[in-house]
Amino acid sequence: MQIRYAEPISVDDLAREANMSKSHFTRAFKLWTGCSPIEYLIRQRITMSKSLLLRERTKSIERIAELVGFDSVSHYIVTFKKYENRTPLQYRKMWL
């Protein structure tokens, strides 16, 4: 299964794709990765956004948030700061 960052992805969809119940899938996923499916997806979105922030310098923070699947730029900024201890703009400027 290919992850499409900008599309909404639910645990129900992932469980269905794996032919498992939602609860069994969530337990198995956490056992395998050490985090919940949603946490994993958020981490992947942040990782992808970090790459875009550096490679796509002409793209706005809003556009990058949209490209990796965040519904709002404010949610993206708060989440990014939670994981990286700086805002996306601070992260981008750090590598100038």
In tens, the pLDDT along 3-55 reads 666 788 899 999 999 999 999 999 999 999 999 999 999 999 999 999 999 99
- Report residue 87 as tokens: 């805002």
C-alpha neighbours within 13 Å on the C-beta side of residue 51: 7
**Stated pTM of the model:** 0.89
Band (pLDDT 50/70/90 cuts) for residue 1 is very low
